[in-house]
Amino acid sequence: METNSVPVLEMNGVSKRFPGVVALSDVHLKVYSGEVVALIGENGAGKSTLMKILGGVHSPDAGTIRLEGKDVAIESPRAASELGVEFIHQELSVLDNLDVASNIFLRREPTRWGWLKLVDRKRLYREADALLQKLGLELSSRTLLGDLSLAQQQLVEIARAISAGARILIMDEPTSSLTLSETRRLLEIVKDLRAQGVSIIYISHRLDEVKEIADRAVVLRDGRNAGMLRRDEIDRDPMVRMMVGRDLKEFFVAPTTGDHGDDRKDWLTIRRLRTLRYPGQVVSLDVGRGEVLGMAGLVGAGRSEVARALFGVDEALEADISLGGQPLKITSPRDAIRQGLYLIPEDRRTCGIIVDFSIRENITLPGLDKYASAGLVSPAREAAAAERMCRTINVKAPSTEMQAANLSGGNQQKVVLAKWLALSPKVLVFDEPTRGIDVGAKAEIYALIRQLTSEGVSVIAISSDMEEVLGISDRICVMHEGRITGTLRRSQFSEEAVMRLATGGEAQDVR
Amino acid sequence: MKKELGIFALLAILCIIISASNPNFLTATNLQNLGRLIGAYGIFSLGLGLVIITGGIELSVGSMMALLGVLLSMMLTELGWPPLLAVTCCIVIAALLELINGLLITRGNMLPFIVTLCGLLLYRGAARFITDDETKGLGADTNFEGLRFLAGGYLFGVPMPFVILLVTGAVLWVVLHRSAYGRYLFATGRNAEAARYAGINTRLVITLAYVACGILTAISAIIFAFYTNSISPASHGNFYELYGIAAAVLGGCSLRGGEGSVVGVLIGTALLQVLRNLVNLLGIPSSLDFAVMGAVILLGVLADQIFKERRNRRQVTQMRESAKSDIAPV
């Protein structure tokens, strides 16, 4: 794609230092017109800082930014926008109380009547509809944003960026909360935009997507350029090697036994589970002791609902659950916790941890009684336990008094885990165990799951990451629209088999 | 602790200014009076602090004080109940009313603002209706000496309300800052969803905070009743909820919940009362009473906000990841 000799964007020798941390050190990035450049690296590698400098949020300590050969200083997000740099955030920044057209043209509404600046509603909707059509979106510009799915909202944000005249589009983990088909759609749109000459900087942890879509991949590690891969060089192994600076051969720890039979299937049994979302469907599951049961399916297939019912967050309409032969009655998380059944939720920052609490306070919260005598909590005992847990599972933080908000996603997830490990789990339910977590921490969490199962803990792992679910599970049960469409043994594992069941296709090997 | 230090400095500076301009400030009588008021206002302000830490609000405190005041007067003077029974009755009524508030909020999923606003109107109306809008008194100074001692007495020269405040403050400090319940309260106020996922019975935690607020309000109500010795149902306790909220906010409680401390609320209360004292002693027209308080609260909270933002900015720059939303074009 390097047809034009002058790059659209050239960042040279960019350095940024925060108190105590060198976030970026002499980083270079070139992007040509109509090119998709994947920016990859572990969490904390400096991707976001680099993009925030481009987006005008941070100013660099050193280095230059050139747009189409001209030196520019980007002093604010607004200045970035005026220069044609648009940001699609991981967490959407649309207003869900306004309709699609109003979102697209926010701050740029077509107006009439001179200084009165009344919004020209006719033109607003006409232009918005035209834009949506151009992007191939079949929705009315009068729809309220709040009524759209997350994926559609994201597409509206892309439409906004395009209509604002974006020449460079920064997409930060755009597919992290999309279903497979929505991801496909998004990738198609990215390809269309590229064909129209828009340059795209694509940040993603999903290496498959990068492989499919990127013309080049720029890898950052510890705030420096770690390397660059051309289209034909982009592949999982070199990418991972550059990201972590070493080979990750033992990425997934293989199950201790291969294809085991029914003998271990009687530890946790779930019968006749009905959830509020799918009241007409009945779910039955068995998980053996020390087994990892993967749960695959598309987003919205009802897997999280099962997990939430199991943990008592949302009470099940009906359920017969027993653990080790003992029937359980779970109507609240407290009931589940009392039985040693814990959930590591999907939404870490709102459900898994309290971000303003310290690591210590987060870890000890569910079992605070253990650190109290005569009703008074002993911070020293808490700290000792928290430090022990952090060492065991390698939480990287200077002190357990650090606020959880300041940790990387991987370390936050480890804190959630530490919280439950301090209470000797019998069953752990992971809802998306490694979403938004860098490769290194992922490997650690997989190893940890294996270590736990070898100690007899049963694990249910809900995952939308195909590679992950195939890699860590002993068995995979696949859901589609609230019901289990099939369960696969290890010998039956394949991407195709899972996808067939997940899309509601005919099950060839139903339990 | 840093947060309390700022407001404490403000309090100290004010005290120095007042005592420099009017020597009457440091007289025993003035200090005792001030102490009595700080005690009476501080007790229910602590209760409001608890509610605010849950992320809630309690607007009915003043009206409840009027209702409890007239009930106390009627029980003692008209029904001739023994003081201990009357006092217990007041505390139980307050606790029950707040229990209802707590249940409406946690079980009925109603907003604390609305529930307690209705309480504000309801209790005031009830107080006026049962008294036919007539002022109720507690009679001669010789009546109910035991109870009167709580409001007007001294322990080693320290006014009793202040002593009671110190005792409740100490108890609440242990509960809030050292017990598991306190931790749950902060967790629930910060992020009720995550607290629930950690197995905390957030509904119970919140309801208990309201009940505690009710009990503390009742204690204050008894002191105020004997302090004024007559309770006019239409005006007794007017705006008291706002004094409590102001004290809590000045003392570092965040209306977003999950933030605050016992020491902060105590200093906040003291600051408010010192301000009223200042209006008196410095010869500022008493009509400006509220205006002075409003201005100081505004400045205090603004200064706190500026410090906090500066601190946050420092922290944010230290973070390597996160905060994508702040780049959104506005």
Q: Indicate the residue of B194, B322, B328 with minimum beta-carbon distance to A352.
A: B194
Highest mean pLDDT among A68-77, A307-316, B33-42: B33-42
Residue for token pair 């205090």: B300
Residues A490 and A255: beta-carbon distance below 8 Å: yes
Q: Indicate the residue of B183, B318, B326 with minimum beta-carbon distance to A361.
A: B183
Region B280-305: what's the mean pLDDT? 84
Q: Indicate the residue of A52, A90, A345 with minimum beta-carbon distance to B197.
A: A345
Q: What is the predicted pLDDT for the residue at A202? A: 93
- Which residues from B are below 8 Å from A351, CB to CB? 193-194, 197
Q: What is the predicted pLDDT for the residue at A251? A: 61
CA-to-CA dists, residue A493 to A180, A258, A465, angstroms: 19, 12, 14
- b/e per residue A221-231 (b: at least 16 CB within 10 A): bebbbbeebee
Q: What is the ipTM of this complex?
A: 0.82
Helix (H, G, I), strand (E, B) or coil at A101: helix
Q: What is the predicted pLDDT for the residue at A245? A: 67
Write out pLDDT tens, residues B16-75.
Answer: 989 998 888 888 899 999 999 999 999 999 999 999 999 999 999 999 999 999 999 999
Residues A240 and A439: beta-carbon distance below 8 Å: yes
Indicate yes or no: pTM above 0.80. no
Q: CA nearest B319 in A: which residue?
A: A406
Region A97-106: what's the mean pLDDT? 84
Gap between the Cα atoms of B111 and B137, Å rounded: 36
Query: Would the CB atoms of A408 and B314 count as touching at under 8 Å?
Result: no
Q: Which of B3-17, B163-177, B219-233 has the lowest mean pLDDT?
A: B3-17
Residues A482 and A280: beta-carbon distance below 8 Å: yes
% helix / strand / coil in chain A, to the nearest 5? 35, 25, 40
Residue A466 — pLDDT band, cuts 50, 70, 90?
A: confident
Region A70-82: what's the mean pLDDT? 88
| Number of H-type helices and E-type strands within chain B | 13, 4
Residue A91 — pLDDT band, cuts 50, 70, 90?
A: low
Q: Where would I find the beta strands (DSSP E) of A336-493?
A: 341-344, 372-373, 376-377, 427-431, 458-462, 475-480, 483-489
Query: Would the CB atoms of A365 and B191 count as touching at under 8 Å?
Result: no
Is the pLDDT score of A234 beyond 70?
Answer: yes
How far does Cα A427 stand from its chain's mean position? 23
Amino acid occupying residue A431: D
- Which residues from B are below 8 Å from A354, CB to CB? 187, 190-191, 194-195
Gap between the Cα atoms of A382 and A372, Å rounded: 9
- Which residues from B are below 8 Å from A368, CB to CB? 180, 183-184
Tokens representing A177 are 């909360």
Our CA dihedral for A122, A124, A126, A128, rounded to 10 degrees, sits at: -160
Helix (H, G, I), strand (E, B) or coil at B199: coil
Name residues whose C-beta falls within 8 Å of residue A422's C-beta, 6 or more positions apart in sequence: A363, A364, A367, A385, A389
Return the bridge partners of B144, or none. none
Query: Would the CB atoms of B327 and A89 count as touching at under 8 Å?
Result: yes
- Which residues from A are below 8 Å from B330, CB to CB? 77-78, 107
- Which residues from B are below 8 Å from A56, CB to CB? 327
Write out pLDDT tens, residues B201-223.
Answer: 999 999 999 999 999 999 999 99
- Which residues from B are below 8 Å from A365, CB to CB? 183, 187, 195, 198, 200
Residues B101 and B210: beta-carbon distance below 8 Å: yes
Write out pLDDT tens, residues B58-70.
Answer: 999 999 999 999 9
- b/e per residue A38-59 (b: at least 16 CB within 10 A): bbbbbbbbbbbbbbbbbbbbbe
Q: Indicate the residue of B197, B328, B330 with minimum beta-carbon distance to A89.
A: B328
Query: Would the CB atoms of A77 and B327 count as touching at under 8 Å?
Result: yes
Identify from B202, B320, B325 which residue to disrupt to test chain A contact, counting A C-beta atoms within 10 A and taking the largest count.
Answer: B320
Region A173-177: what's the mean pLDDT? 78
CA-to-CA dists, residue A110 to A19, A118, A157, A162, A315, angstroms: 44, 8, 18, 16, 49
Q: What is the predicted pLDDT for the residue at B326? A: 34
Is the pLDDT score of A165 beyond 90?
Answer: no
Phi, psi of A167 (to 5 degrees): -100, -30
Strands A283-287 and A268-274: antiparallel
Is the pLDDT score of B163 beyond 60?
Answer: yes
Name residues whose C-beta falls within 8 Å of residue A357's C-beta, 6 or more positions apart in sequence: A365, A403, A404, B186, B187, B190
Highest mean pLDDT among A31-45, A128-142, B226-240, B297-311: B226-240
- Which residues from A are below 8 Å from B196, CB to CB? 313, 332-333
Q: pLDDT higher for A97 or B273?
A: B273
Highest mean pLDDT among A124-128, A134-138, A487-491: A487-491
Our CA-based measurement puts residue B54 at a distance from the nearest CA of chain A, in whole angstroms, of: 14
Write out pLDDT tens, residues A400-424.
Answer: 888 888 887 888 999 999 999 999 8
Residues A220 and A46: beta-carbon distance below 8 Å: yes
Our CA-based measurement puts residue A368 at a distance from the nearest CA of chain B, in whole angstroms, of: 6
- Which residues from A are below 8 Å from B200, CB to CB? 334, 365-366
Q: What is the predicted pLDDT for the residue at A92? A: 64
Q: What is the predicted pLDDT for the residue at A4? A: 52
Strands A36-40 and A216-221: parallel
Region B274-280: what's the mean pLDDT? 88
Our CA dihedral for A211, A214, A219, A225, rounded to 10 degrees, sits at: 160
Query: Would the CB atoms of B190 and A77 count as touching at under 8 Å?
Result: no
Gap between the Cα atoms of A151 and A165, Å rounded: 22
Tokens representing A269 are 């049994």
Q: What is the predicted pLDDT for the residue at B100? A: 97
Gap between the Cα atoms of A484 and A464, Å rounded: 15
Residue B324 — pLDDT band, cuts 50, 70, 90?
A: very low
Gap between the Cα atoms of A103 and A148, Å rounded: 13
Query: Would the CB atoms of B325 and A89 count as touching at under 8 Å?
Result: yes
Q: Indicate the residue of A81, A336, A351 with minimum beta-carbon distance to B193.
A: A351
Residue A254 — pLDDT band, cuts 50, 70, 90?
A: low
Q: What is the predicted pLDDT for the residue at A257? A: 52
Q: Please report, rounded to a whole number, the percentage of residues in chain B having pLDDT higher than 90.
A: 64
Q: Is A314 exposed, middle or buried (0-12, 13-18, 19+ CB in 10 A)?
A: middle
Is the pLDDT score of B318 beyond 90?
Answer: no
Region A196-200: what's the mean pLDDT? 91
Write out pLDDT tens, residues A348-369.
Answer: 888 999 988 999 999 999 999 8
- Which residues from B are below 8 Å from A81, CB to CB? 329
Identify from A368, A370, A415 which residue to disrupt to test chain B contact, counting B C-beta atoms within 10 A and taking the largest count.
Answer: A368
Q: CA nearest A353 in B: which residue?
A: B194
Number of C-alpha atoms within 13 angstroms, CB side, residue B126?
A: 18
Report angle CA A485, A487, A491 to the nearest 5 degrees: 140
Q: Please report, rounded to a whole number, the percentage of residues in chain A having pLDDT higher than 90.
A: 31
Query: Would the CB atoms of B326 and A356 count as touching at under 8 Å?
Result: no
- Which residues from B are below 8 Å from A359, CB to CB? none
Q: What is the predicted pLDDT for the residue at A164? A: 83
Name residues whose C-beta falls within 8 Å of residue B42's C-beta, 6 or more positions apart in sequence: B165, B169, B247, B265, B266, B269, B270
Query: Would the CB atoms of B321 and A20 count as touching at under 8 Å?
Result: no
Q: Indicate the residue of B190, B199, B314 with minimum beta-carbon distance to A354.
A: B190
Q: What is the predicted pLDDT for the residue at A12? A: 93
Query: Would the CB atoms of B201 and A334 count as touching at under 8 Å?
Result: yes
Q: CA nearest A312 in B: which residue?
A: B197
Q: Indicate the residue of A43, A55, A377 with minimum beta-carbon distance to B321.
A: A43
Our CA-based measurement puts residue B127 at a distance from the nearest CA of chain A, in whole angstroms, of: 39
Mind giving me the DSSP string for A265-298? TTSEEEEEEE-SSSTT--EEEEE-TT-EEEEEE-
Q: What is the predicted pLDDT for the residue at B272? A: 92
Helix (H, G, I), strand (E, B) or coil at B80: coil
Residue for token pair 């230290």: B318
Tokens representing B198 are 């950690």
Residue for token pair 């309770």: B231
